[in-house]
A = this chain, B = another copy of it.
Amino acid sequence: MATEPVPQRRTDIGPPHYDQFLHPLIKRNYGKWKHHEALKPGVLVHTAESGEAIYTVRAASARLLSTDFIKWVCDMADKYADGYLRFTSRNNIEFLLANKENIDPLIKDLNARGVPVGGTHNSISGVVHTQGWIHCHTSATDASGLAKTIMDELDEYFSSHKLPQRVKIAVACCLNMCGAVHCSDIAILGIHRKPPYVNHANLKNLCEIPTTVAACPTAAIRPVTVDGKASVEVDREKCMYCGNCYTTCPAMPLADADNDGVSIWVGGKVANARTRPMFSKLAIPYLPNNPPRWPEVTEAVKKIVDVYAANAKPWERIGEWIERISWPKFFEITGLPFTRYHIDDFRGANKTYRTTTHMKF
């Protein structure tokens, strides 16, 4: 190691106890909340049995934050929230206010710095996303860039309650899906569309061959010997570009500027509210990587949200809405083409075939 260990080095102490970070008003009413209300988009009030109330102002976040920005956020919390704040499971910043009078001044300061307030109730909250070109080696697209352009487009839905229900959007930069892509109302997924390139010269040094072979979900990888060196080969017919081989073996990169891109998925949900949790389903098999602003992607997402907003009934999540109107109608009214790629062909795919005559024409 590069530096001297200092004597005080401690291990396995775990995180600080949350207790010390709770606003005194929260501490007093911990576990004794009675109900809540959204005073306006981005502002919640929770009332306790004691009659005390805590006001939450929820602010958008780029998630990727500089320490300078965090410190400025701290200034805001000091000024308006007695120095207490929290982050949400979707990376928003929540200021916890004992004093109702502070709400509007805080919002004013936030907005002045370009920080929208919203994300509550029937809105589109922040995008759950991943590392992409910022920090990951397996990415097929950039997550932060997509999240940014999409939210630029949907900003009005963040700061209002005008949707039929909450819409949860996620972006993942590869099939590892570090996040919520598989169960999101709208999900954008980075995809490869070419089999890995096998670097036979290096493979044996960098990878364990049995592990690499075992990594492939469709058994597309076989051990071979190339120029006297043990290596692997990929059956191009069986490969569906998932990248799991590359995760296991760096000698099998998949990234390809012209063929990588994203697919779009809709109708997932996690909450047990009304209906069961649902997986997201394929809506658009492929859109190109067109940085910096991915116009095809933002347009498609906007389109789906707008059609949903115009057609769904109150309380319907996107998946619930589509289940009601039926998938054929979804494709019809969004104008998205239904292709062979939409038909599942992985193991157990026939469970998705329509074994009923229930159809809407």
Contact = CB atoms under 8 A, between A and B. Distances in A.
Contacts of A348: 347-348, 351
Interface in A326-361: 347-348, 351, 355-358
Contacts of A355: 276-277
Contacts of A351: 348, 351
Contacts of A347: 347-348
A272 B358 CA distance: 7
Contacts of A277: 355-356
A328 to B, nearest CB: 16
A351 B351 CA distance: 10
A325 B356 CA distance: 23
A182 to B, nearest CB: 12
Contacts of A358: 272, 276
Nearest to A272: B357
Contacts of A356: 272, 276-277
Interface in A273-305: 276-277
Nearest to A276: B356
A353 to B, nearest CB: 12
Contacts of A272: 356-358
A131 to B, nearest CB: 28
A166 B360 CA distance: 26
A356 B275 CA distance: 9
A202 B82 CA distance: 88
A301 B277 CA distance: 35
A258 to B, nearest CB: 37
A357 to B, nearest CB: 5
Nearest to A359: B272
A347 B346 CA distance: 13
Nearest to A356: B276
A358 B357 CA distance: 28
Interface string A68-93: 00000000000000000000000000
A348 B347 CA distance: 8
A10 to B, nearest CB: 39
Nearest to A279: B355
A277 B358 CA distance: 10
Contacts of A276: 355-356, 358
A184 to B, nearest CB: 16
A273 to B, nearest CB: 10
A351 B356 CA distance: 19
A147 to B, nearest CB: 27
A276 B358 CA distance: 7
A346 to B, nearest CB: 11
Contacts of A357: 272
A355 to B, nearest CB: 6
6 contacts: A272-B356, A272-B357, A276-B356, A276-B358, A277-B356, A348-B351
Given A276-B355, A276-B356, A348-B351, 10 more contacts: A272-B356, A272-B357, A272-B358, A276-B358, A277-B355, A277-B356, A347-B347, A347-B348, A348-B348, A351-B351
Closest 4 CB pairs of A and B: A276-B356, A348-B348, A272-B357, A272-B356
